[in-house]
Structure 1
């Protein structure tokens, strides 16, 4: 993929929630990305690049919330000082905390820009960010990881990132989480215990992850030295500029604020409905 052609001489709205995101509900990020999808899809906005970091949260997928003993899994996670939320998009459970960097690229949908191209775009961005990585950054499903997918990013067979996409209202959001610091295996172990308690031999309608904690790592562990969110943020900005992208610090417009309020309420209602079902 020619990443330069996608970035060079293009204006990108730059929105940095890597610090402020620690103070607000992670569900806001899903409403924000949907808001920007709408704006870009309507051609009322330049493409958007947004970074976000949130406090300790286990973000369940809809399928996770329907596991036969999910309330027991949730109780365990909460006992480990993580809040539990349910997102309205696809995918399975992931972990957010102050050592996990999330990044969204949001732009107008183009029929020639396939789903695979969206994944390849983010994979290439990460290869540029981590040009000094201690090994090739590969994209394939890592068996035994949480939220496994064909575009798990790994070094030496250890997963440190996962990519997802959301396409709505004429816009595309390509999103990634990067485990930057902390223990990848500890995060995986938390979800391993969640699934064990949430399934407990009951009937399950999907292939839930049989997690092997040792297949997951943070970038700090893979590099063998401390890497921080600020390091990744600096690399992101310098990489975008080196590729010719024009970054404009931005915030929600008045129209986007109204749209965000509406979408956020919908996300909250869906989350509450999903969690109410698990408690019934």
Structure 2
């Protein structure tokens, strides 16, 4: 990693593991947790935080997705596929989360000069370092045909395995990434392709939704030809941060944090209930 980003890692980091909470762990809670830690770090000098999280059978939509002409048809399809559906409060469009997708949040204080691109670069540098031993070039560029496309799609050989988003609030920054660790990236993409097909239904949407080509997406296990697991990749993230000088520790939520979390989860539920029956 370069010197600029080493400086962000060389400090105390709190580690929170939400990877084993099981199928009942609703993705709304994850976004509420990240808002809680953004508030603590931004306003009350909490430790920088690495949070790892996994959700089962969940499709996370962006706010724009909720405005598609026949969104109800798309929602019915996803639910028929056994998917929970939520709308997140950070940027981006529809993504798939399941037990083989690891999500990481790097939550830091929004210091002067810490631009949006630098937030993306912080995560991108971490991921490159994590997988440097495989001698595969990980690129950050938009992969046309993928779901939730953006300039910081992470890919190997032109196939996307991860996407990065950001949430900035109250002086804190949560840089979030989903990493498709194993399973079929193309199969996940096909589900989202069908969701858009049904949600648009030949009508004129209010935004340019992605024209998904499932073959543009793959998992790390497919790309690296290694039988990786979520726990393998999480352990790699921890060891990489330690090697870069991060002082990692764990700590349960304080009573104050629990109160903040309840406020944020209620806001998330209220926003979602306007569109999706929880």
CA shift, 1:22, in A, is 3.9
C-alpha distance in structure 1 between counterparts of 2:198 and 2:226, whole Å: 34
Q: Is the 8 A contact 1:74 1:84 kept in 2?
A: yes
Residue 120 of structure 1: how far off its partner (Å): 0.7
TM superposition shift of 1:21 = 5.3
* Mapped pair 1:12 → 2:10: no
For residue 132 of structure 2, give the secondary structure of its aligned residue in structure 1.
Answer: coil
User: The residue matched to 2:264 in structure 1 has which SS?
Assistant: helix
User: For 1:244-259, what aligned pairs fall within 5 Å after superposition?
Assistant: 244-259=245-260
Distance of 2:14 and 2:44 partners within structure 1: 13
Residue 236 of structure 1, CA deviation: 1.0
- 1:224–1:96: structure 2 CA closer, same or farther, 3 Å change rule? same
Match of 1:161 in 2: 162
Give the equivalent residue in structure 2 for 1:44: 45
Alignment match, 1:108: 109
Specify the alignment match of 2:55 in structure 1.
54
Q: Secondary structure at the match of 2:276?
A: helix
3-state SS in 1 of match to 2:145: coil
2:181 is matched with which residue?
180
Q: What residue number does 1:241 align with?
A: 242
Q: CA deviation at 1:81?
A: 1.1
Give the match's secondary structure for 1:164.
Answer: strand
Moved over 4 A (4+): none
Aligned residue pairs total: 275
Q: Tell me how far apart the structure 1 counterparts of residues 237 and 143 of structure 2 sit (CA, whole Å).
A: 25
Between the aligned partners of 2:80 and 2:115, the Cα distance in structure 1 is 42
Check the 8 A contact 2:90/2:165 in 1, yes or no: no
How far apart, in 2, do the equivalents of 1:64 and 1:159 lie? Answer: 21
CA distance in 1 between counterparts of 2:91 and 2:237 reads 26
Structure 1 segment 46-195 matched on structure 2, within 5 A: 46-133=47-134, 135-195=136-196
Contact residue 88 and residue 271 of structure 1 kept, 8 A: no
Q: Distance in 2 between matches of 1:197 and 1:76?
A: 8
Q: Give the Cα–Cα distance (whole angstroms) in 2 for the partners of residues 58 and 41 of structure 1.
A: 29
Superposed CA RMSD in Å reads 1.1
The answer to whether the 8 A contact 1:53-1:98 is kept is yes
- Structure 2: 5+ residue runs without aligned partners? none
Q: Partners of 1:43 and 1:259 in 2: how far apart?
A: 12
User: Which runs of no fewer than 5 residues in structure 1 stay unpaired?
Assistant: none
CA-to-aligned-CA distance 1:79-101 (integer Å, 9 cap, x gap): 11111111233210011100000
Higher mean alpha-carbon deviation, 177-186 vs 132-141, is at 132-141
Following TM superposition, by how much is the alpha carbon of 1:201 offset from its aligned partner in structure 2, in angstroms?
1.2
Distance 1:134 1:75, change over 3 A: farther
Kept in 1, the 8 Å contact 2:158–2:216? The answer is yes
Rounded Cα–Cα distance in structure 2 between residues aligned with 1:251 and 1:266: 23
**Alignment-derived partner of residue 35 in structure 2:** 34
